[in-house]
Structure 1
């Protein structure tokens, strides 16, 4: 298989689904236990555009879409933590990438890539004029990546690459109702074996409890 990295691995699809469910349980039940210590929490939904995880590696990369959910726990007016799930999609040319690295144009001319990202972050909040709030955060994350058509040759199921990553996120939000916030979210991921990528920008809406 061309363009294989040290972080590449083949997983059984059932194994992937089982572990994603475990992470979902972690997001829904472990972190919400912090509610007893915080002033309030938000559940937010966001979407937008999503870039390749690395523009150098993913030759002829094209921007796709993204969507996600964030559980945000506020301890005071300055600090908060969040647990996050995000899905992103982008395209690139495996043949062109192989040519850049090995000098031979081998593989398909275009492939779609799906990325599933889970992260835990700490945020610093800054109050701005006119009721706006700036949030800047970072933390640790983990992602699974699947190229369209890639399968584990031993068992014929989807092949996933995976790695740890450091998310960096900046957002600006404002209350439009006592329990509703809207804003604009942007971020990027710094990952081993990549430079940086996964740039995403888009609107978000949050509900406060």
Structure 2
């Protein structure tokens, strides 16, 4: 509400579920997020109005049909999922170029991949290297330690929207993300050429044009400061 400058009940939001679709069960997860039934009820905060903005549809629609809705929105709620897929569609849809031209009081709210894709450069691990349109800047084999033992993955470096000049590693020490340990976050951060925040699910970043503030009731770490 500090960033919006008014109550949520007086604010219009657009929900962007695009990043979740590469995951098995993605459509169901998108529905649960939209209806406030997910672990983070972002869409169920009491917005004045809430719409769905599907980035994969935008290139096939006349810009005059969807751009006004984005310009009128007080908040863009960008959901989690695959950050490489999301960043690709943020660029391909034109959203990356549009965001810097929005009203100064408009707020970008990124959750998980939605936060990762807002950065300039990011890393993510994949069981198999991404293919097709979602081309990474770099892919390299890596071994990560989890409570269940070492896991062979591919470490992918991607290009985000460039809204901020630092990187984000979410879900620090989360039981559903066993590779997101502090030790692995430190290793990932060593591959990113900018300051990198590792945040647990009780931590967030509040960003204005001049300040970056950590808001936390949990654990976080800044690397390459």
Q: Same fold (TM over 0.5)?
A: no
TM-score, structure 1 as length reference: 0.25
Relative contact order (alpha carbons < 8 A, sep ≥ 6): 1 or 2 greater? 1
TM-score (norm 2): 0.24
